[in-house]
Structure formats: C-alpha cells, structure tokens
Amino acid sequence: MADQLYGVLHLFCGIGGAAIGMQAAETEYRGVRGNFVTLAGVDCDLEACKDFETLTGAPAVQMDLFSREDYIAFHGQEPPEGWREATPADLRAATGGTAPDVIFTSPPCKGFSGLLPTKSAMSRKYQALNRLTVRGLRLALESFWDDLPGTILLENVPRITSRGAGLLDEIKALLGAHGYLFHEGSHDCGVIGGLGQHRKRYLLIARQPKKVGSFVYQPPQLRVRSIGEIIGPLPMPGDPAGGPMHRLPRLQWKTWVRLALIPAGGDWRDLEKIAPEQYRLEHVPRRGAFGVQEWAGTAGTVTAADGPNNAAVSVADPRSEHYKNSYRVTGWDKAAGTVTGGCAPSNGATCIADPRLNTRKNRRSNSYAVRPWDSQAHTITGEDSLGSGAQSIADPRLTLNDNAHRNIMQVAKWEAPAKTVTGATRPAGGAISVGDTRLGCSCRNGLYGVQDWEEPASTVTGARNLHSGTAAVADPRVPADTEQGVWVIIAEDGTWHRPLTTWELMALQGFPLYMACGSPVVLAGGSDARWRERIGNAVPPPTAQAIGKQVMRTMLVSREGHWEMSATPIWVRPEEVANDET
C-alpha cells in the first residue's frame, strides 16, 4: 500500500489539539494510505509552543502576528526593543519553505466569546485581538501565493458570526479573491468527536477547486458520552498516578458546603431553595478508624494502609507484664522505675504525680486566685501576672446592667433599623452584621454548577472554574481519604460533589493523558489557571481527527480525479452554490 503525505500548518496552534487529531486521521482510498504531517505550529505563547512540541512531536515557532498598531492597542504600550511585525517570509521559514496542503487556524476567541461582556468586547483592546483572524490568514495566503493550500479550516466560537461579522466578511472576500469555495456553519464537537461534553463551535472550511475538486462531506455523528465514562477509569484526585495536574483546588469550607447542597445538574440558583434548618453536617469516620481489637477475637483484614487512623490495627493486649511502666505515672511516695535511655512516656515511667503544687511552702497562696465581689482585696503588689497574685475578681455587674454589651456579635434584621454607627469595626464591637436577603443577584447561569455523572459535560472553556461556570461533578466514587485543605462532604444523592481537576478537563477534551514513557502529561509552566485556559481554548483532538479524516479522503479522491457520494451532508459544494451557503 502506497503512502500519500500532506503537510499541515497550524496557525495559533495552542497546545496542539488540532495537530494531535489530524496526525491520527489516517485514511485509505483505493490502495493509497493518506497521512497528515505537521510542518509547524505557530503561536505567540511560549508555553503553548512548548506544549505543542511535547504533545505532537512537531516543531512550533513562537511568532507574534499582531500588526504594530494592534500590538499597542492590545497591550497598551509600545512593543519591546527588537520586536517587529511578522512577514510572509517568516511563515515560509517556519515551514522550512514547504507549502502546506492544509492550513488549520484557530485564532484567539476571547473577544468573540459570550463570556466577555459586550462593553469589553467592543473595546480597542479586544477589537485588535479579533483582527488577528484576518491578519493571520492574509499572511498565510501571501506566504504561499504561488502554491496555495488545497484546504483551509478556520475554527472559533459560534458568536464570531455576530461579534465578528465584519471580519468574517473580509475573510470570505479574501478567500473568494484567491479562488476558494467555502462553507461556514457550526457543529457540536461532542457529536463529531464522541466526547464527554457538548461543545458548540464555528467552522469555516474552504477548498481550492484546482487542487481539491471533490466534495468535502461532514463527519458522521457519534454518541456524546457521560462524564463518568471519561473520568471514571482515572485515578482518584490527588493520586500521584495522575501527576501534578490531577490535584484538587484548596477551596474554602463554605464552598465545599455549597457544592454539597447543590443537586447534580443544578447550579448556584438551587441554593435559594434550601431551608437551612433542614440540614446538618455529620462527621462519619471510616469504619474501624482508631479501632482496638479484642485479644480473644479475630483480627480485621490486613491492608497496605493499616495504621491506627485507617483501620483497627490496635489490640487490647493482656500481657501487661512486659511493659508495666509504659505510659505509667509513678506515685510521689513510690520508688522510681529503672532509669533507661527511653525518654518518652511510652518507653518508661518518666511521669510522676507531683503533689507539690498544693503545698503553701512552694507557691503563693493566692496564685491564680479569684476574689469574691463582696470580700476585701489582697495587698496590691508590684507583680502584674495572674499567677503572681489575686488580680482577678468575680464581677457580677454584667448581668445587672441591661445595657452592657448586648449587641456583641449581633446580626441586624434586613427590614429593621440598624444600631448606632460607632467607631467599632468588628462584629464583637457592636451589631455591624446584617442578614442580607439579596442572594438573588444577577449571577451568570451555571455559576457553581454541579454536573450529573451520567450526563455529558458542558463546554470546557478557558475560564473553567467553580466561580464562573459548571466546573464541578457529582462523583459517586466517594474517596477513602482526603488531602489537607480538601473536604469530602457526601451530598444527599450519596456522591461527592467536587471540582474537576485540570487533568480531568484534559480527558474531557479528548487529549492524551500519558506520555510515551507512561508518565502522566504535565503541561509547561506550573499554573493551574494557565493550564486550564490553554486546555479550554484548544480544539479537541477527537473532533480534529474526525474533520481531518473527511478532508484527507476528499484530497485522496481528488488526487485520482474522482468524486464519490456519502451518506453525510456536503460541507463544501460545487462552485455554483458553495459561496451562497452562509
């Protein structure tokens, strides 16, 4: 079987999800096997370039594609010394002078995303970021004008069709001027790639009819899997087998309580329906923890985690004659045990019941004494500590005076007048707390959302955390232990409502989780926030693989001068109707 290789250039490559998928999109047609080869990835983020090379094994070039004007608009300052605008020659150098057969571009989507407020999206900063969609593609077409790529793919968020409508018009005009036929539309990455999440994305796919004469068909639709199917086989969070990206965030106690109270599939709005008096938290220790087994009974199972706090690995041993002085307190009037090298109470009788504290001979009679209110005081001395004299008194006036500190730690009612405003700044200094009823604020839908284990996950975004979206899951795999700063609260449905780890988010995006050597994947840098942003911005590899297979087959068919029919709809139609489909 002969091989046909097609080179791909990835613009704004990120961590290489598209490259991973397309490299796996091996396809065969009439005895010819087609494969994609990544010529290069291009991105301005150095850590993203490192991730691209680690995950794909292909070269990545750090390159800023901003124009000088847009650089200043986005960063709010002049470029650093030595910075210059990228040129077509720079892109040609990135591919080693080889013209790509396919260009896959996924420009920054933050300015188009609905997560960004409209006012910010319209600012000079984000308009400059949005213009990279046009500038990147124009540079690529100018770079390879003498040998244009057969297929161009542009992927982004669906809202680009409204917030970036003018820019898309420029792109379509640019493609048309170079003879491309194109189709634009949106799809669900979960359906195309068989992911464990729903992820709606925009895709513009263009083909050069001189090189790719056959139709480009849409990939078949697959079943969207549940979260549990994806992350169920993985180690529990915190297990070293998952590496440093598989750690749970150290959340505040109240956040864990909120997550436990939100039902699976719900979000922060469900907290408003809770009657607090119906709930209480109960500590349920592990069965056998700190257990002491009977001497005459059978022992519990010996496990690898045996320890007094993990299982009943202690025993009531009647053979006390061996260690009679262990943890023993010797009487004041008894002979001491033999002096040994042991210095702990468990090693010898190094404790004693010392009666000397109660003898007047060796201490003041009024040490730590409290004088009655109706008795005379002892002599006032120069000593200033409670242990040196009777400087304490049983003061009965707190209960006699109705005005004494009655508002300490008091919480004022929302509908009642407030207490006098004083210079006190703490709850202990006056009634400066209030029962605020305004929980029903205009928070974004999905805030503190808890996803059902049996359902597909919501879209993984670059802002994926508990405070900005549905980034928790109702996990039925209740863990056996917790790390410091991580609490396990079993919700009413019997599951542990917890955040998804960064490693699990990679799994939901369809990324490989282990390196060739078997160690868990660790992205460049050490920030969970930056890891999550890059993961959320990436093209899911299984989706890219499904798209790549369709493009590859079209190129193989076109190579033979053939065309074929498919059971799936056509993405790029013949010339007479293609450019009208928008």
Spell out the domains of the chain, with CATH numbers in brackets: 2-225+538-578 (3.40.50.150)
| 166 pLDDT higher than 70 | yes
Residue 453, both tokens? 């284990």
Q: Average pLDDT in the 83-106 region?
A: 96
User: How far are the Cα atoms of 31, 136, 499, 564 from residue 560, in angstroms, in the given order?
Assistant: 11, 32, 51, 11
- Written as one letter, the residue type at 138 is R
What is the rounded distance in angstroms from the CA atom of residue 451 to the CA atom of residue 504?
Answer: 14
Residue predicted with more confidence, 480 or 475: 475
Which residues on neighbouring strands pair with residue 43, listed in sequence order?
A: 62
- pLDDT given at position 64: 96
Bridge-based pairing of strands 32-43 and 2-11 is parallel
Residue 489, both tokens? 């609260």
Which residues on neighbouring strands pair with residue 11, listed in sequence order?
A: 42, 105
- pLDDT given at position 449: 83
- pLDDT given at position 282: 72
What is the rounded distance in angstroms from the CA atom of residue 105 to the CA atom of residue 9?
Answer: 8
- pLDDT given at position 274: 85
Whether 86 and 44 have beta carbons less than 8 Å apart is answered as no
Residue predicted with more confidence, 399 or 78: 78
CB atoms within 10 A of CB 364: 15
Q: Average pLDDT in the 431-448 region?
A: 61
- pLDDT given at position 483: 42
| 560 pLDDT higher than 90 | no
- pLDDT given at position 368: 57
Q: Average pLDDT in the 507-513 region?
A: 95
Q: What percent of the chain has pLDDT over 90?
A: 46
What is the rounded distance in angstroms from the CA atom of residue 2 to the CA atom of residue 33?
Answer: 6
Residue predicted with more confidence, 561 or 317: 561
- Tens digit of each residue's pLDDT (9 = 90 or more) over 293-309: 666 665 655 544 454 44
Q: Average pLDDT in the 464-481 region?
A: 74
- pLDDT given at position 75: 96
Residue 129, both tokens? 């970021």
- pLDDT given at position 375: 73
Which residues on neighbouring strands pair with residue 54, listed in sequence order?
A: none
Residue 409 pLDDT level (bands cut at 50, 70, 90): low
| 559 pLDDT higher than 50 | yes
CB atoms within 10 A of CB 223: 10
**Residue (of 53, 147, 155, 157) closest to 104 by Cα position:** 155
| 156 φ/ψ sector (left φ>0, alpha ψ -120 to 50, else beta) | beta
User: Which run of H or E residues covers position 474?
Assistant: strand 472-475
User: How far are the Cα atoms of 257, 286, 479, 494 from residue 497, in angstroms, in the given order?
Assistant: 9, 19, 11, 9
| 498 pLDDT higher than 50 | yes
Which residues on neighbouring strands pair with residue 27, listed in sequence order?
A: 34
Residue pointed to by tokens 């022992």: 299
Q: Average pLDDT in the 278-290 region?
A: 65
- Tens digit of each residue's pLDDT (9 = 90 or more) over 313-328: 556 655 444 444 444 4
Residue 418 pLDDT level (bands cut at 50, 70, 90): low
- Tens digit of each residue's pLDDT (9 = 90 or more) over 114-130: 888 999 999 999 999 99
Q: Average pLDDT in the 453-482 region?
A: 75
- pLDDT given at position 582: 32
Residues, the chain, total? 582
Residue 259, both tokens? 């997550």
Q: Average pLDDT in the 488-494 region?
A: 85
User: Which run of H or E residues covers position 529?
Assistant: helix 528-537
- Tens digit of each residue's pLDDT (9 = 90 or more) over 255-266: 888 888 888 888
CB within 8 A of 484, min separation 6: which ones? none
**Residue (of 200, 116, 109, 249) closest to 456 by Cα position:** 200
CB within 8 A of 240, min separation 6: which ones? none
- pLDDT given at position 532: 92
Residue 407 pLDDT level (bands cut at 50, 70, 90): low
Whether 159 and 114 have beta carbons less than 8 Å apart is answered as yes
Instruction: For the chain, give the mean pLDDT.
Output: 80
| 168 pLDDT higher than 80 | yes
What is the rounded distance in angstroms from the CA atom of residue 428 to the CA atom of residue 405?
Answer: 9
| 361 pLDDT higher than 50 | no
Whether 71 and 83 have beta carbons less than 8 Å apart is answered as yes
Q: Which of 392-401, 417-426, 509-518 has the highest mean pLDDT?
A: 509-518
Residue 397 pLDDT level (bands cut at 50, 70, 90): low
Q: Average pLDDT in the 75-104 region?
A: 96
- pLDDT given at position 488: 83
Give the global pTM. Answer: 0.70
CB atoms within 10 A of CB 180: 25
What is the rounded distance in angstroms from the CA atom of residue 435 to the CA atom of residue 412?
Answer: 6
Residue predicted with more confidence, 22 or 318: 22
CB within 8 A of 539, min separation 6: which ones? 14, 17, 18, 21, 104, 106, 155, 189, 201
User: How far are the Cα atoms of 46, 69, 194, 221, 430 from residue 191, in angstroms, in the given order?
Assistant: 32, 40, 5, 5, 59
